[in-house]
Amino acid sequence: MDWTIFFVVASFGTYIGIALWARAGSTNDFYVAGHDVHPMINGMATAADWMSAASFLSMAGLIASLGYGGSVYLMGWTGGYVLLALLLAPFLREFGKFTVPDFVGDRYYSTAARVIAVICALFVSFTYIAGQMSGVGIAFSRFLGVDFNTGILVGMGIVFIYAVLGGMKGVTYTQVAQYCVLIFAYTVPAIFISMMITGNPVPQLGFISNVRGEDVSMLENLNQVVTELGFIEYTSTNKSWIDVFAITGALMFGTAGLPHVIIRFFTVSSASAARVSAGWALVFIALLYTVAPAVGAFARYNIIDTVNETTYIETDDYATAAEGITSNGGTPVPEWFKNWERTGLVGFEDMNGDGLMQIRGPNAPDGLANEVTINNDISVLASPEIAQLPEWVIGLMVAGGLAAALSTAAGLLMVISSAISHDLCRRTLFKGMSDKTELRIARVAAAGAVAAAGLMGMNTAKLAFVAQVVAFAFGLAAASLFPIIFLGIFWKRMNKEGAIASMAFGLISTFSYIYYFKFVDTDPSHWFLGVSPEGIGFVFMFFSAIIGIVVSLVTAPPPQDIQDLVEDIRVPGTRTRHGSVDDDMGPMDDHTPTPAE
Partner 1 sequence: MSNEPTKIDAKGYWSATVRLTISLLVIWFAVSYGAGVLLRDVLDNVSIGGAPLGFWFAQQGSIYVFVALIFYYCFAMNKIERKYGVKG
Site residues (vs partner 1, CB under 8 A): 63, 68, 70-71, 74-75, 78-79, 81-83, 85-87, 204-205, 207-210, 216-220, 235, 241, 244-245, 248, 252, 270-272, 275-276, 278-279, 282-283, 286, 289-290, 293, 490, 567, 570-574, 591, 593, 597
- CA within 13 Å, CB half, 270: 10
State which residue, 216 or 550, has the beta carbon closest to partner 1: 216
Burial of 72 (0-12, 13-18, 19+ CB in 10 A): buried
Rounded CA Rg of the chain: 25
* Residue pair 31/168 in contact by the 8 Å Cβ criterion: yes
Nearest by Cα to 102 from 275, 255, 263: 263
Minimum CB distance to partner 1, residue 69 (Å)? 10
State which residue, 103 or 486, has the beta carbon closest to partner 1: 486
Strand 372-374 and strand 346-348: the pairing is: antiparallel
For Cα atoms 324, 325, 329, give the angle at the middle one, nearest 5 degrees.
115
Cα 400 from chain centre: 15
* Residue pair 505/547 in contact by the 8 Å Cβ criterion: yes
**How many CB atoms lie under 10 A from the CB of residue 373?**
13
Question: How many angstroms separate the CA atoms of 521 and 508, rounded?
Answer: 18
3-state secondary structure of 383: helix
Question: How many angstroms separate the CA atoms of 259 and 267, rounded?
Answer: 13
Minimum CB distance to partner 1, residue 94 (Å)? 9
State which residue, 63 or 500, has the beta carbon closest to partner 1: 63
State which residue, 435 or 561, has the beta carbon closest to partner 1: 561
Measured between alpha carbons, how far apart are the two ends of the chain, in Å? Answer: 64
Minimum CB distance to partner 1, residue 565 (Å)? 13
Minimum CB distance to partner 1, residue 514 (Å)? 22
Question: How many angstroms separate the CA atoms of 248 and 270, rounded?
Answer: 30
**How many CB atoms lie under 10 A from the CB of residue 286?**
15
Phi, psi of 348, deg, nearest 5? -140, 135
Minimum CB distance to partner 1, residue 313 (Å)? 35
State which residue, 278 or 402, has the beta carbon closest to partner 1: 278
State which residue, 18 or 63, has the beta carbon closest to partner 1: 63
**How many CB atoms lie under 10 A from the CB of residue 98?**
25
Minimum CB distance to partner 1, residue 597 (Å)? 5
State which residue, 272 or 331, has the beta carbon closest to partner 1: 272
Minimum CB distance to partner 1, residue 234 (Å)? 9
State which residue, 205 or 553, has the beta carbon closest to partner 1: 205
Minimum CB distance to partner 1, residue 221 (Å)? 9
State which residue, 59 or 398, has the beta carbon closest to partner 1: 59
How far, in Å, are 63, 141, 246, 300, 369 from residue 363 at the CA level? 20, 37, 28, 18, 9
Phi, psi of 310, deg, nearest 5? -90, 165
Minimum CB distance to partner 1, residue 280 (Å)? 9
Minimum CB distance to partner 1, residue 198 (Å)? 9
Minimum CB distance to partner 1, residue 297 (Å)? 9
Nearest by Cα to 541 from 247, 282, 261, 278: 247
Minimum CB distance to partner 1, residue 296 (Å)? 9
State which residue, 219 or 581, has the beta carbon closest to partner 1: 219
Burial of 225 (0-12, 13-18, 19+ CB in 10 A): middle
How far, in Å, are 14, 97, 427, 555 from residue 583 at the CA level? 40, 12, 11, 27
Cα 375 from chain centre: 19
The dihedral over CA atoms of 310, 313, 318, 321, expressed in degrees to the nearest 10, equals -90
Minimum CB distance to partner 1, residue 32 (Å)? 19
- CA within 13 Å, CB half, 450: 22
* Residue pair 88/487 in contact by the 8 Å Cβ criterion: no
State which residue, 149 or 204, has the beta carbon closest to partner 1: 204
Partnered with residue 348 across adjacent β-strands are 372
How far, in Å, are 176, 349, 377, 576 from residue 359 at the CA level? 41, 11, 18, 66
State which residue, 546 or 571, has the beta carbon closest to partner 1: 571
State which residue, 119 or 283, has the beta carbon closest to partner 1: 283
Minimum CB distance to partner 1, residue 590 (Å)? 8
The dihedral over CA atoms of 329, 334, 337, 342, expressed in degrees to the nearest 10, equals 80
State which residue, 252 or 470, has the beta carbon closest to partner 1: 252
